[in-house]
Structure 1
Amino acid sequence: MRTLTATHASRGFSELLDRVERGETIRITRAGHVVAELRPVAPTTGRALREALARTPGLDDDFEADIAAATSLLTTDESDPWRAG
C-alpha cells in the first residue's frame, strides 16, 4: 500500500485516481498522520440491491395506511401554480 502526503496527492490527483482505478489502495497523510485511504469501489449489482432489500423489514400496517391516505389527497391537476393567471 502506497502512502502519500496530502500535498503530493493534490498535485498529482489525476495520476492518483488512475492508480486507484487500477486496484491500488493509497493512504493520504497530513502532518504525519493518516487522514484518508483511497481504494477502488466495489462494484454493485442489481442482485446485491435485491438481496439488501429482501433483508429490509417491510412497512408496518399503520405507516402503510398513512402513506395511502396521503397519496389519496394528491390531485392530477397539472396546472402551473406559479403561472400568473
Structure 2
Amino acid sequence: MKSLTATEVARNFSQVLDDLEESHEEVVIVRNHRMIARIIPEPEEQNALEVLGDLYRTLDDETADALAEAMRLDREGNAGTLTELRDPWDS
C-alpha cells in the first residue's frame, strides 16, 4: 500500500494512475495527517471459463458433478436442468 498526500495526487494524477496500473498496489490519500480515500486497482479481467473454474472449486463433489452433467447436456442440445444442484446457502 502506497501513501500519498492529496497535493501529490492532485499534481501527479496521471502518473499516480500509471503507477497504480503497473504495480497493482492500492494508494491511500492522506490530507492533514488523516487517511481520507483509497484508490484500489481493478482486479485482472477473467473470462467466463476462469470464473466458472473458480466457482467449480468451491462446490462439493456431488454438486460439481451435477453442474458438469447439466452443462454437458446443454452443449449437446438437451435441456438439462439444475434442480438437482444443492443451494450452498441453504442450511
Give the structure with higher Rg (CA): 1
